Structure 1
Amino acid sequence: MQLWNDYFSEDATYPSHMFRRHFRMNKPLFMRIVDRLSAEISYFQQRRDATGRFGNSPLQKATTAIRMMAYGFPADAVDEYLRLGETTVLLCLEHFVQGIINLFGDEYLRRPTPEDLQRLLDIGEIRGFPGMIGSIDCMHWEWKNCPTAWKGQYTRGSGKPTIILEVVASQDLWIWHAFFEPPSRAPKVNYIVNGHEYNLAYYLIDGIYPKWATFVQSISLPKGPKVSLFATQQEAVQDERDGYTQYDLYVFAQPESNRSSQVDSTFFTDMPLNLGNMMSIRNRVRDRRIHQQLKDDLVENIWQKFEMNQDFN
């Protein structure tokens, strides 16, 4: 009852923006997940026990799993609010994850198609980042049972062997790429920024990544209005395809022929088999000169977009 009154009743204690903050998603999306889980996964269907008393509700179980993932809570940290024991909490998380894979895997857990990439390019372009297809981040997951012979190549600054968990997300928080393996290359696209032509898509990143042509970092200590605006735009994240300005909508409405960012017609997802081609792509990806030129062009492009937006308004 407390959970219901706090978030799901008509006069809920916490409004929609607080729900979004606590659950890391908006309420309609959360309810869509709960409805599918309770309709198709038996574990999330509420039943009566031998005494006729109702068991835990789908909202309790789904909220438990989301809280653990959103906040990194241990299993025994949610019992005071959600009234679930540690063993039940772990079962909730296990069934929730498996249910998401089974029910939503075909729709969400897939590689982007050329059409998906074009939409990402369009969204990046209206925000001043032609050629941008998402934000990338990674973490090191400790490999407890790493074979002794492999420990050297998997051990980094922590002194323990780790595997990289790398994730790419678009501005609407759609996870496009996640894996435990060496990082893959960026898809090939064609776009123009500040009069210069480029043909490798790039990701927005934080400062821990190298200065490669496929990465665009923020500026930690921006000086001047142009660089400060770039840093602000680079670090911004939107919520579930909301937040478009009138100028953005105007740009979306323009003919496709006016796009400066296009998915390359030779786009493919497999790695090239020819060693020479692989080395050529590797060298282009790691080109620090292109990295700096692209960054400078984006600073100028975002400033021009800002001035056009001011004139449009």
Structure 2
Amino acid sequence: MRSPNAYDVQRLYSKHEEKDGFKGMLGSIDCMHWEWKNCPVALKEQYTRGDHKKPTIMLEAVASVTLVKGFACPTDEPRIKFTRFQASARKDVERVFGALQGRFHILRLAARTMSVNKMRRVMDCCVILHNMILEDQGFALSDWEEDFIIEDMENRPECIPNRGRDHDTIIREIRYRTLHDQQTDDLVEHIWNLPSTFCTMN
């Protein structure tokens, strides 16, 4: 219900690396199509795609600016392993959408609202309720002790880890092809050097 601070980001980096093996990544990206039953006629063509017969709203979950694609046709063992790990990490977001639809029946039905904004509010409400349920069941990423640590760190800015480079610098580096390829190769090598028991440990 709030934007992540620097401490949250560092904690998410650590959790994601511990679970999936990827360094410096907050998560993955995926989307789901929510059928829009009462889509206004004037907007119908705008929200209809060829692979969906009826108007839909695409809901995206984006957890990181940095997107790393798997290899379409990996030929060597390191790239095959990397693509397998990347596909596994990507499935996390797919499972979240599945869990939301399983828990909240309204998301499985075609939306009856007349506006995109109301659909967004319904989805936001379901996500917030889902997070509250996880927290109540003890599955939340943070607990009350960590909240005290966060509050203390926010009161002392010098203790907040520095995220380093600014957003524009990161985007320029991603778009610079040679550097992008080098970073991908480094990530492939990192995944390849993980112990063979890494998947069984998580």
TM-score range, shorter-chain basis?
A: 0.3 to 0.5
TM-score normalised by structure 2 residue count: 0.46
Q: Taking CA–CA contacts closer than 8 Å with sequence separation of 6 or more, which of the two structures ends up with the larger relative contact order?
A: 2
Normalization by structure 1: what TM-score?
0.32
